[in-house]
Amino acid sequence: MARIRVLIVDDAVVVRRLVADALASDPDIEVVGTAANGRIALQKISQVNPDVVTMDIDMPELNGIEAVRALRPLHPTLPVIMFSTLTERGGVGTLDALAAGASDYVTKPTHAGGIGLAQQQVREELIPRIKTLAARRRVWGEPGGTGSAGVPLARRQVGAPVMGQVRPAIVAIGVSTGGPSALAILIPALSASLQVPVVIVQHMPALFTRLLADRLDASSGLTVREATAGMVIEPGTVTIAPGDHHMTLERRGLHVCVALNQSPPEHSCRPAVDPLFRSVVGVYGRRTLAVVLTGMGRDGLRGCSAIRDGGGQTLVQDEASSVVWGMPGLVVRSGLADKVLPISDMAEEIMQRVSAGVGRDETMVAAPGDVGRAGA
């Protein structure tokens, strides 16, 4: 198979060299060019035909956000990975770039302890994203393709609400690569009258999660906030796990509250989806509705298995609308998805399920011991 062709865009010579040397260590990747700003990058894309572009944000003449906006009409499927600094400005710029059509992001190594460690960090974080995004583009090609199964997946559905199924009392969402854009579609589309809480793990570093929460809060009729320890989970609120902390839920008297910890990463992630999902079904039992959106890796699979064992429900984003169908695809292939649907339909499905469930357990607050009644 042909090597993956990468164009590196950054105004700093030292960064271009750092990334190029890190990528050169992988035999499956070929650096086909570099560019010092977005304007040069747009010219080089047509010349070198890259499979993936890495893009800095702050550059002269044409910055990374402007470059992404300019290239999307011409190259709608070309993966662009933003290479940003772990700062407030870098976080805002990264979210702007993702909203403009960037595929993913990697934070630049800071205080890595030397050039060798910096290159190692770039290899560990950037190379898997390059390979995953390039592989998806080769399978899907232009938007509206049929995917690896040869069937238009945008409308493939698995399962349906079961008559007599209890009404969910909470929505727990797990998401990774492509998540900010998916959440920007899903969360504002949820009704402001939503009578259940929403909790989210998005794989993101500290600072970025707060900026994401602020951005979603400004565009949504629901209250969106970054979690703090002891925060009470309430209907009509969306709570996002803070970067570098696992978020779990626990019952304290009549309330369900957030607990944060820095236990070892799971699936190389902190926050991770699995700890949240396990804790949610431990509190809410069969009244749990899990949602697994776009993302790389296996995170969320074990949590969905626990939710299935507890009698809960799981919705999964389809392959066609996912940036990466790693996390959701594993849930589907494991037989744990109650329904698979595009991100554009997810909010409506959630609203139907939280309002249409019937059964003995009808109150909107999880009752103590509910998980013990999952098989009742």
In whole angstroms, what is the distance from residue 109 CA to residue 112 CA? 6
Residue 362 has pLDDT above 70, yes or no: no
In whole angstroms, what is the distance from residue 214 CA to residue 91 CA? 12
Which of residues 110, 140, 170 is at a domain's end?
140
- Any idea which residue has 């949240």 for tokens? 276
Which of residues 72, 107, 140 is at a domain's end?
140
357 vs 117, higher pLDDT:
117
Six token digits for residue 145:
């393709």
Domain of 109 in residue numbering reads as 4-140
What residues are paired with 263 via a beta bridge? Answer: none
Taking a C-beta distance cutoff of 8 angstroms, is the pair 285, 312 a contact? Answer: yes
What residues are paired with 237 via a beta bridge? Answer: 223
pLDDT reported for residue 110: 72
Residue 322 has pLDDT above 90, yes or no: yes
Residue 141 has pLDDT above 80, yes or no: no
Specify whether 176 is located in the same domain as 316.
yes
In whole angstroms, what is the distance from residue 350 CA to residue 356 CA? 10
Residue 365: pLDDT band (50, 70, 90) is very low
In whole angstroms, what is the distance from residue 300 CA to residue 293 CA? 10
Q: What is the CATH number of the domain that holds 244?
A: 3.40.50.180
- Told to judge if 219 belongs to the known catalytic residues of this protein, a careful annotator would answer no
pLDDT tens by residue, 207-236: 999 999 999 999 999 999 999 999 999 999
Residue 372 has pLDDT above 70, yes or no: no
pLDDT reported for residue 136: 84
Q: What is the mean pLDDT of the chain?
A: 89
Q: How many CA atoms lie within 13 A of 130 on its CB side?
A: 30
Which range among 42-56, 138-152, 201-215, 219-233 shows the weakest confidence by mean pLDDT? 138-152
Specify whether 202 is located in the same domain as 163.
yes
Specify whether 46 is located in the same domain as 172.
no
The residue annotated as part of the active site, out of 203, 245, 246, 267, is: 203
Mean pLDDT within 69-78: 95
In whole angstroms, what is the distance from residue 152 CA to residue 320 CA? 8
In whole angstroms, what is the distance from residue 165 CA to residue 286 CA? 9
Helix (H, G, I), strand (E, B) or coil at 156: coil
pLDDT tens by residue, 238-253: 999 999 999 999 999 9
Mean pLDDT within 197-206: 96
In whole angstroms, what is the distance from residue 283 CA to residue 249 CA? 7
pLDDT above 90 as % of the chain: 80
The residue annotated as part of the active site, out of 176, 181, 305, 322, is: 176
Residue length of the chain: 376
In whole angstroms, what is the distance from residue 330 CA to residue 340 CA? 12
Residue 152 makes CB contacts below 8 A (sequence gap 6+) with 144, 146, 320
The residue annotated as part of the active site, out of 10, 299, 318, 345, is: 299
Helix (H, G, I), strand (E, B) or coil at 292: strand
Specify whether 87 is located in the same domain as 164.
no
- Told to judge if 176 belongs to the known catalytic residues of this protein, a careful annotator would answer yes
Q: What is the CATH number of the domain that holds 119?
A: 3.40.50.2300
Which range among 40-54, 154-168, 252-266, 324-338 shows the weakest confidence by mean pLDDT? 154-168
With CA atoms as reference, report the closest residue to 234 among 286, 289, 170: 170
Dihedral over Cα of 323, 212, 222, 234: its sign = positive
pLDDT reported for residue 111: 64
Residue 173 has pLDDT above 90, yes or no: yes
pTM of the model: 0.88
- Told to judge if 203 belongs to the known catalytic residues of this protein, a careful annotator would answer yes
Which of residues 116, 140, 164 is at a domain's end?
140
pLDDT reported for residue 85: 87
